[in-house]
Structure 1
């Protein structure tokens, strides 16, 4: 439904090729989903009538018996993401506590804005309001009430309810990948629910369901793009509408997506996506300026008010008393299934660009920023079309309703400079079409791979396969019955993944409860930071004062590590072992100034391991009152304490032997308190996957102060 752009910026870019863990193909997920898509496509191509009958039968059954389930699921998801956003857990970051957003606010919202538009939105922005005007779900068509609600129904189908589904998947991806360093996979969100079984058949089944939903969702968008672009090419170049031209457009999408996968032009595709938005904005401004400007602005404001007022009732309306089952299956149920099918795809993109954002920021922005753009686009184009119909041009309205692929172009033909508008719309549509195929192949390759680094993508040859498979499925569905068949297939395939979404909500909530218990454990046992910094009996207040103006360089840090830090941590490890604990101290050079990180780990069996890490963080030397306290260097080094959720903001540099030991014990007692408070399994990271890397990364420390090469954590 939207076009995702690529973002490959990652911590792992600082690693050498030999150090980076390479993605591997998940053979079970790849085989299960790949074989299913190929067999289904061949069946539809070789027996189109049989396939059409079977799809129609299943859709009829779902519309009659499961419509309530789709409506309820959309409502539950919306309520869930809002509860998470405005609860105490809304302050949790999609990443370690110390992480900072990868993109500034303007860039981030602009990318959310870009995610809110695709060729299908141009298709339905005219076709749906006109269709709802003639055939509303309740009441008579062609009335003033039908006119008023026509655009509101379109906004409902493209509004916050659907974006809530994207927000749910984006939170799940971002939280478990960036905060817990788990694989970038849907099955990771189910770990708190089913444990290590996510690595087995159950996890494979979840990923297969997600992939099937994604490919049918992408194929639906491509199918809509094919028929709409075919008509645009007919207007521009006289290319006849039909199967031959549509096959050609599918081949173009597959070839260009494959070229992108092979040549690695992700940044180019991203720029094209941004250009798409600019062209869409240009079309909006043109229609707004050349049309009835004041009416369109008035209607936009009223549409927003009507949408907000009617949203609660519309969200749970199953039309149980009006018998609108056919309307429901063709509109609301189809859109909810389509949003569900696209949720893993767009959710992955939203997570990629939102690392370091809090859950509250993420949900609010995801529900509002794209919708505001959709509101303007749908209101301008939809009300412009309705103005033509209510003005007496019934032929335009009937054509828009019966041949929706022509509706948008028919609207543009009503304005000055129509040939240029049509050319601009066709170019924008073509770019939306190609970027959907490309980014869809990218996401599907990720879903069928085992990737430890959450910022990497699947192998290139796998992207090529999924680009071709998507083209084959699109062709098969068009041969069976065109866009209506694509809509019907999406309605069917969205049903199993809607069940997965409930499991994701349960698993995600369990993880957030564990996080709350962890915070409560720390607050109930850990001493304040001020208390931890009080000098021991062997110190003097003058030494404490001198530390406030001390900004140690690498040599001082290494000396302190050798003389105090490592001996203190070693002593604690030996004492843990003396008490029968499986404890170890590991150290590794982080890659700059020969400084090292030190991690004390105590294995806890089936519960979450205790880890206490000291990591050197390069920090700019501050200036107080214009006086630079260290004129010889621009940097000093903090020895910060990290745990599994990030930096604790504590600098142990120059602490005494006893102070370091006491801080470790404070953290240990807080961890034990967390395990006693939290009911249920506390392990988030699968033991077979190794331990997360809790250190800083390139987005969280001043530029240029990160190691050129840092050992990758599996």
Structure 2
């Protein structure tokens, strides 16, 4: 027996009780914070995130890292340059394989998702459709992921690979065939695969499961509620710092190039002063764009950007060596496709000086895309709501990549023509001073002043798009924003625009483009870990979706639906439905007279039989019409949801009889947790709706039976019921603004949870 401080002996029983309480507390903490093991638990992820607010921990730590790096680079530029050069040399010789393998795995992953049957899943509920028309969407894809740096490297890259190739004799035919292809490779599928991975993951969790549009939310299936704590903050800090480095590098390269253009056009002295002035212009434009939003600001610049780039390319092809450019373009694309697998895994292990070449070229670009990945991914997700995963990935790795190829081959082969025909002075200039070499090439074409002006305008639009979009994305990463349609505070966008400008100026002062390349390669390294976590998280949730698809297919025989999509109707009802497009008032009357009473009858019967159920009334924001959701809680399993909500639909111009002058009619569709089931209830009678509810509930039980046979915790329904949690429907506090039924009260947060999956 041990004595306590007051002289009394402590009891072993007390110590055992204390130890038991500690173990219980640890087990409770693990239970609360564990990753979701079912779709129902996943749907609660939206409730993990609070109201919109600045994440001060992420903001302060990230800003401190950027400021410290900027001060170091400006106060001791030589020391910063030499230190980063040493680190980059080590990365090139020791971790080159890791960068190469990471990008190859990402490419394989996103292509695999696109071509699999999971590619039909939408970034949003099943009934959601794209917000932007195809041309606008592709323009924004292109402008968001293509920076002015492409113009910078489109001339110096091919010439350098021809004169000092990594794996061929200098100035040989083999080197000439590969010169442009290497630059195409660096601006090809690798970068866009990274954008696609992060974009589809963030968009999926935001628009389909109602979580914030952020990296930490995309890791919820792996980390559970820990994403809200220090683990989530660490992820956002790494993401944010890497993103700032990537954007600052692009801006730095951009001002180096644009300063030459402005010097040519307006006679301004080229140098650090003009470059700093251009950085200031970007900040001012970003501040102005804060009040225009994505639709008015970035959308306009994106479309103008695409048109100006197209005009520039067309002018060069028509007024330049047209036959050579087109022949070389076709050969370059063919060689790129033919050599892609081997080139994607090439590490230059057997080439003298191979690690130095890799660090200066392939590894830098892979790091660049990794750093830009969260930035571009978030922006692409924002504009891609309603797209399928297949559509998103295929569009992202084809259309913008083809545009990239057009730019690279046009400028690269124009430069190669000059070098192959003996213009050695131009070749040396392009290698020693890429920005001067690019404009020197433009001056060789007819109407050089016009072309230089058009090219400078196009580069300026690339530059402003990156600066504006970057500030928006950084403000989002440093905030907690539950609604994916919202952005961070405007003052926060201005703050990040200023801080990125400071970093850009610091790197320009410390060594220019080379320093930017070093910093990008170093700070992108932690982002590779996040890429692997994203793939693991997304793979887990896709397995959940696959289980639901399998369950739907296997339960088909037990459902009483016509074609698996709609309840049985009489032939008169079907014929009448073909000739009517009900108005808003008609649908509102039908909801009150038929839908609500039918669901109330089923709700009362469920309660009488002892089911844990709730009937939730609400209002659809888009139409202003009532919604009704019947929820049946099943302990340890996915809840049953039968929600009836209005959907506004365009009236077709053919068939039927138009009974009103509106352009749209209203359907009443049934929604499960992941979206609409695709059929309309208008015109059914009360008994048919009751039968449909029971059929759906019976099919849901069959689905649970099927998926429970699969012993994998990552599926929608766990193989073994998780630790029992308090029933939310029973314990929730009533909310004053939520209509109550005769059943248990449902609080506001629980209402949002139960309605998860509804757009």
TM-score, normalised to structure 2's length? 0.83
C-alpha contact 2:245 2:520 (8 A) present in aligned 1: yes
Q: Return the match for 1:254 from 277, 283, 304.
A: 283
Q: Any idea what SS the aligned residue of 1:455 has? A: coil
What is the CA distance between 1:401 and its match in structure 2? 0.4
Preserved CA contact (<8 Å) 1:180 1:692: no
Question: Which residue of the partner structure matches residue 746 of structure 2?
Answer: none
Of 142, 166, 173 in structure 2, the residue corresponding to residue 144 of structure 1 is: 173
**How far apart, CA to CA, are the structure 1 residues paired with 2:78 and 2:274?**
22
Contact 1:612–1:667 at 8 Å: present in 2 too?
A: no
* Mean CA deviation greater in 551-560 or 128-137: 551-560
Question: Which of 604, 611, 614 does residue 584 from structure 1 map onto?
Answer: 614
2:753 to 681, 691, 702: 691
Partners in 2 of 1:144 and 1:92 — Cα distance?
47
Of 356, 365, 369, the match for 2:395: 365
Instruction: Look up the SS of the partner of 1:680 in the other structure.
Output: coil
Look up the SS of the partner of 1:530 in the other structure: coil
Q: Helix, strand or coil for the counterpart of 2:753?
A: coil
Give 1 or 2 for the bigger CA radius of gyration: 2
Q: Secondary structure at the match of 1:586?
A: strand
Alignment deviations for residues 533-557 of structure 1 (CA, whole Å, 9 cap, x no partner): 336xxxx876776666565555664
Distance 1:290 1:261 in 2: 40
Separation of aligned partners in 2, 1:434 and 1:204 = 29
Counterpart among 529, 533, 554 of residue 561 in structure 2: 529
Assess if the C-alpha contact under 8 Å between 2:579 and 2:657 holds in 1. Answer: no
- Secondary structure of 2:122's aligned partner: coil
Q: Secondary structure at the match of 1:599?
A: strand
How far the C-alpha of 1:696 sits from its partner, in A, is 6.9
Q: 1:236 to 1:543 in 2, by over 3 A?
A: closer
Distance (whole Å) between structure 1 residues aligned to residue 422 and residue 653 of structure 2: 72
Residues 116, 373 of structure 1: 8 Å contact kept:
no
Structure 2 CA distance, aligned partners of 1:143 and 1:623? 63
Change (3 A) 1:549 1:296: closer
TM-score (norm 1): 0.87
Shift of 1:374: 1.4
Distance of 1:542 and 1:433 partners within structure 2 = 62
Aligned to 2:29: none
Task: Tell me the distance in 1 between the aligned counterparts of 2:369 and 2:523.
Answer: 11
1:15 corresponds to = none
**In structure 1, C-alpha distance between the alignment counterparts of 2:669 and 2:298, rounded to whole Å:** 40
**Residue in structure 1 matched with residue 201 of structure 2 by the alignment:** 172
* SS of 2:347 mapped into structure 1: coil
Corresponding position of 2:421: 391
Cα deviation for residue 629 of structure 1 reads 6.7
Superposed, 1:15-414 pairs within 5 Å as: 23-115=52-144, 117-262=146-291, 267-323=296-352, 324-414=354-444
**Tell me, what secondary structure is at the counterpart of 2:544?**
helix
Q: Give the count of matched residue pairs.
A: 671
Match of 2:508 among 478, 483, 506: 478
Q: CA offsets per residue over residues 392-444 of structure 1, 9 Å max, x none? A: 11111011001112121010121222222222222322232222211110111
Which region of structure 1 is more displaced relative to structure 2, 54-63 or 671-680? 671-680
- Aligned ranges for residues 487-502 of structure 1 at < 5 Å? 487-502=517-532
C-alpha separation between the residues in 2 aligned to 1:606 and 1:193?
Answer: 20
**Which fold has the larger relative contact order, with Cα–Cα distance below 8 Å and residues 6 or more apart in sequence?**
1
1:224 positional shift = 0.5
Aligned to 1:601: 631
Q: Distance in 2 between matches of 1:103 and 1:342?
A: 23
Residues 606, 398 of structure 1: CA spacing in aligned structure 2 closer, same or farther, 3 A cutoff?
farther
Distance 1:229 1:568, change over 3 A: same
**Counterpart-to-counterpart distance in 1, 2:70 and 2:157:** 29
Report 1:515-594 matches (<5 A).
515-526=545-556, 527-530=559-562, 533-534=567-568, 557-558=587-588, 560-574=590-604, 576-577=606-607, 582-590=612-620
CA distance in 2, matches of 1:696, 1:534: 25
CA contact (8 A) 1:192 1:683 kept: no
Unaligned runs of 5+ in 2: 1-49, 718-724, 729-748
Partners of 1:142 and 1:257 lie apart in 2 by: 44
Distance 1:416 1:634, change over 3 A: closer
Contact persistence 1:525–1:666 (CA under 8 A): no
Residue by residue over 1:200-224, the C-alpha shift from the partner in whole angstroms, topping out at 9 and shown as x without a partner, is 1111211211111111111011110
Q: Compared with structure 1, are the counterparts of its residues 302 and 585 closer, same or farther at alpha carbon in structure 2 (3 Å cutoff)? A: same
